[in-house]
Amino acid sequence: MIQVAFFDYTDSPYVIRNDFGLRHREYWEHLASPGSWWTGEQRIAIAQESRNARNCDFCRERKQALSPYTMKGTHDQAGTLSEVAVDAVHRVVTDQDRITQSYVDDLAQNGVSDAAYVELVGVIVAVLSIDEFHRALGLPLEDLPNAIPGEPDRYRPTQAVKDIGFVPTLPRDGATGNEADLWSNGGTANVLRALTLVPDALRHWRALARVQYLSLEGMANFGKAADRSINRMQMELVAGRVSAINQCFY
């Protein structure tokens, strides 16, 4: 395991709990390692493209188009991923509400399988979570880690089914065997099931959510957790407002 240094949150004008630095470091270490369908180098490239997409001229032009599938152009990119993968990253970051089943199916025909797409989305979600935390506090983004050599394990849970979205997911009773830790007693939700074609993507998203929002167990607490500065109602007010601004209609 590589060692990634803590980001120095003491430079922030706000008091930040120590577990933020720990969980962020753990995620960067995970990102640098080979995943299920991408190498460590490719996963870091996906993270970099998630940052590039915010300033991509072609993405801005496509966002204004009546249909995002009629425009042709070139993304501002680092150049280490295939054009298909780069386009997928940029769409997820800048135009996710217009991704269709046909688009995801076409990805699979062009070298990005449904499971590889899920892992790509998992990387984007995690990196954006950390990056937006930094932007919100006026802190510089963390440097991306160096890749660890190795090949993906190509693990795919056999109990995944196609029933709720564009990609297969674990059913509510599917947290068994190697996936027994993902949730318990059938206590899950579609938002949790979304990444389960790549179980490690959900595990690391949960670890980040535990510090930046709430743990699964903490969801049942509608008051104020001892380690939080604001109560649940205040948290949900902020979350709802941010979701509305980001056009997240889940």
- Domain limits of the chain? 9-212
In this prediction, residue 14 carries a pLDDT of: 85
Whether 1 has a pLDDT exceeding 50, the answer reads: no
Mean pLDDT of 30-34: 97
Q: Can you read off the two tokens belonging to residue 219?
A: 């969801």
Q: Can you read off the two tokens belonging to residue 237?
A: 């007010």
Contact 88, 42 (CB under 8 A): no
Helix 83-94, helix 114-136: angle, nearest 10: 50
Mean pLDDT of 108-137: 96
In degrees to the nearest 10, what's the CA dihedral of 139, 141, 143, 149? 140
In this prediction, residue 98 carries a pLDDT of: 93
- pTM, to two decimals: 0.93
Non-local (6+) Cβ contacts of 240 within 8 A are none
Question: Measuring CA to CA, how many Å separate 232 from each of 218, 223, 236, 246, 250?
Answer: 10, 5, 6, 21, 19
Whether 6 has a pLDDT exceeding 70, the answer reads: no
Mean pLDDT of 104-131: 97
Cα(176)–Cα(160) distance, integer angstroms: 11
Three-state secondary structure of the chain: CCCCCCCCHHHCCCCCCHHHHHHHHHHHHHHHCCCCCCCHHHHHHHHHHHHHHHHCHHHHHHHCCCCCCCCCCCCCCCCCCCHHHHHHHHHHHHCHHHCCHHHHHHHHHCCCCHHHHHHHHHHHHHHHHHHHHHHHCCCCCCCCCCCCCCCCCCCCCCCCECCCCCCCECCCCCCCHHHCCCCCCCCCCHHHHCCCCCHHHHHHHHHHHHHHCCCCHHHHCCCCCCCCCCCHHHHHHHHHHHHHHCCCCC
In this prediction, residue 3 carries a pLDDT of: 54
**Distance between the two ends of the chain, CA-based, in angstroms?**
36
In degrees to the nearest 10, what's the CA dihedral of 215, 217, 222, 228? -40
- Phi, psi (5° rounding) for residue 5? -70, 150
Whether 128 has a pLDDT exceeding 50, the answer reads: yes
Whether 194 has a pLDDT exceeding 90, the answer reads: yes
Whether 32 has a pLDDT exceeding 70, the answer reads: yes
In this prediction, residue 234 carries a pLDDT of: 95
Whether 249 has a pLDDT exceeding 70, the answer reads: no
In this prediction, residue 153 carries a pLDDT of: 97
